[in-house]
Structure 1
Amino acid sequence: MKNKRRLAALLAGFMFAGALPGCGSGTGDASSPDAAASSSAGNDDISIGFVVKSLSDSFYVLMKAGAEEKAKEMGVTLNFIAPNSESDVQAQVDMIQNLIGQDIDALCVSPSSPEAVLPVFEQAYSADIPVLAVDNDTTFEHKVTFIGTGSEAAGEIGGQYAAEQIGEGGKAIILRGRLGDSNHDERESGFRKGLEAGGVEILEVRACDSESEKAMNAMQDLMNRYSDIDVVCTTADSMAQGAQRAIEQAGVDIPVLGFDGTIPVAEMTAEGKFMGTVAQDPYNMGVVGVEEAVKAAKGEAVEPRIDTGAKMVTPENAADFVADLKKKMGE
């Protein structure tokens, strides 16, 4: 089925090219009704599997919304799934394996463990299913592309901002996701660079597996251990929320910086409850993931690296940022 579809797409492309009076004439209108209708033509038998780390984090809920909107627009079948926890690596591997057994046409994955997924990625490749990494990269040599943020550069943006806010000589805590997760490794490295360049001392780095409750418990312990914390930088908004709850319960004033740009943390940033959050664009990752997966399923060319960007959400721009996200989600 997959090979026949790709052959048909290639033949259709040659026939279409032969019918054109010339390339790049600029006479077509991409915004016309006919062009819009053609965007979903021939896609109704394409099935895409999309597996992320967890849907308990609103970051991946936003990604799901973007993927579902684009899948609906393009007329493709989408199966968007995730384990209950980012730390449940085996559950994610099992989900990928099950999708391969369902004869999907393309596979988008945000791997919890870039190494653990390699055997199932090999299975997908053997089954002629293109693999696209989204949000979290993989060393899989046959992947079609990586779609996501440059995590280290984004972390450095956050570290620089935090250093500017607390000033040289300040002291920071970093709460990070699961050890061995390449995204969180890179975010931590970026935070370190930005903070240290601004003359900020890093008191401790604690792994909290991107779980709010673990971050809250860790923050309670860290506040008992250190009396001079000036800022807490987290490599995911879920941990920022847990840290903020612990700080609020303790009745102290320690600013918290998140990473992801989720609606809850951005809203609380607008209210002054957070220093800010380094915003990725998970909604766009979902959109681009589906777009590129359809191309890959048809045997069309896909760029090997697609950067979806990052920016700082601060108390000054957070309200506008939230309004834009809610508009994208139809709220």
Structure 2
Amino acid sequence: MKKSTTLALTAIAFAASAATSAFAAETVIGLITKTESNPFFVKMKEGAEAAAKKGGAKLLSAAGKQDGDTAGQISAMENMVAAGAKTILITSSGDAIIPTIKKIQAQGVQVIALDSPVEGADALFATNNYKAGELIGAYAKAALKGKAPVIATMDLFPGHPVGAQRHNGFLAGYGLKTLDAKSNELAQPAEVVCMADSFGDAAKGQTGMENCLQKNDKINVVYAINEPAAAGAYKALKAAGKEKDVVILGVDGMCSNGVGNVEKGVIAATSMQYPLKMAAMGVAAGLQYAKDGKRQSGYTDTGVDLVASKPMAGVKSIDTKTARGQCWGD
């Protein structure tokens, strides 16, 4: 009787030990986005959650209060590492996070940048933002059919690599004087008569466009950092009775503000990127790191497609019906 009891207790202890070991070995991955409310980051989180669940990992998530909240991102990184995260996926809000990235890497944590490049990250999974700009730039030039461009740009904010790459890529696609993809400065050739910082926000995009119209009412092309900023610019143009005279371009690929506004004619074309794919690839890299300890490295292009309801000769695009099957909600 004592022997049976001893064996039973041993079996229970072994099972408990195995369960504890399995729990201890659970892969913990952190996802930190710029904000919680932006549909792009909502979709990114959905992709990370689905990939983590499929791979048996625990996902921790956090976000800054607004774009540019590096203090919030730094705090989130430190908290996640303390909670056992060995891979951090982050959409950088600025270079102030770089020292913290280096610090946690020294502690054995892999850091992967999603969407926005940041110095020191082990790897980057992102859209080729320069190419995204080139696509809409080429479309704008074709849409103007030989007319001289008078351009306003609704940019992100100074110094951000994604904002610079899209802006400068747009000018390159149009065939105008610009800067290369490595520059964080915004080129301003003579054809660009007004530049405004929209912070990717519709209200700021509207205000920026109103100010640009006061400077030059002959504007016939508007480049916007994203689709909310493009929608804001459209609102200002419509209030001025000029919405039919201007070609508006954006980037992102949201379902409503993006594809939906292309369908409505609010935006002439947009470049669609794939945040769910970025996040899923990031989680996969985190799972692999937990298995073999080998860090991901380099840049992985997660793809971009030009979406237009009216195709232009010589400019490759997908129609809105196709885009509907690939877009992400807003």
TM-score class normalised by the smaller sequence: 0.7 to 0.9
Distance in 1 between the 2:51 and 2:25 partners?
A: 13
The corresponding residue for 2:84 is 103
Retained in 1: the 8 A contact 2:29–2:283? yes
Q: Which has the larger radius of gyration?
A: 2
The corresponding residue for 1:145 is 123
Distance in 2 between the 1:220 and 1:70 partners?
A: 43
Matches within 5 A, 1:149-228: 149-168=127-146, 169-197=148-176, 201-228=191-218
The corresponding residue for 1:274 is 267
CA gap of 1:293–1:172, structure 2 versus 1, over 3 A, is same
Distance in 2 between the 1:224 and 1:51 partners?
A: 39
Pairing 1:127–2:120 present: no
Residue 122 of structure 1: how far off its partner (Å):
1.6
Aligned residue type for 2:114: V
Q: Secondary structure of 1:229's partner?
A: coil
The corresponding residue for 1:232 is 222
C-alpha root-mean-square deviation of aligned residues, in Å? Answer: 2.4
Aligned residue type for 1:153: K
Which residues of structure 2 form unaligned runs of 5+?
A: 1-21, 178-188, 311-318
CA gap of 1:319–1:247, structure 2 versus 1, over 3 A, is farther
Percent identity, aligned pairs only? 24
Retained in 2: the 8 A contact 1:106–1:130? yes
Distance in 2 between the 1:208 and 1:176 partners?
A: 6
Distance in 2 between the 1:42 and 1:257 partners?
A: 49
Residue 129 of structure 1: how far off its partner (Å):
0.9
Aligned residue type for 1:157: L
Distance in 2 between the 1:42 and 1:228 partners?
A: 64
Q: Secondary structure of 1:325's partner?
A: coil
Pairing 1:291–2:284 present: yes
Distance in 1 between the 2:23 and 2:136 partners?
A: 43
Aligned residue type for 1:295: Q
Residue 43 of structure 1: how far off its partner (Å):
11
Retained in 2: the 8 A contact 1:64–1:283? yes
Retained in 2: the 8 A contact 1:215–1:240? yes
The corresponding residue for 2:29 is 48
Pairing 1:78–2:59 present: yes
CA gap of 1:165–1:122, structure 2 versus 1, over 3 A, is same
Deviations 1:303-330 (A, max 9, x none): 522110111011151232123336xx8x
Which residues of structure 1 form unaligned runs of 5+?
A: 1-40
Pairing 1:116–2:118 present: no
**TM norm structure 2:** 0.80
The corresponding residue for 2:296 is 302
CA gap of 1:241–1:107, structure 2 versus 1, over 3 A, is same
Retained in 1: the 8 A contact 2:130–2:168? yes
Residue 200 of structure 1: how far off its partner (Å):
9.0
CA gap of 1:44–1:283, structure 2 versus 1, over 3 A, is farther
Distance in 1 between the 2:209 and 2:265 partners?
A: 20
Q: Secondary structure of 2:223's partner?
A: strand
Retained in 2: the 8 A contact 1:230–1:255? yes
Pairing 1:245–2:235 present: yes
Distance in 1 between the 2:25 and 2:268 partners?
A: 45
Retained in 2: the 8 A contact 1:43–1:75? no
Count of aligned residue pairs for this structure pair: 285
Residue 101 of structure 1: how far off its partner (Å):
2.3
2:325 to 323, 326, 329: 323
Retained in 1: the 8 A contact 2:122–2:295? no
CA gap of 1:227–1:234, structure 2 versus 1, over 3 A, is same
Retained in 1: the 8 A contact 2:29–2:88? yes
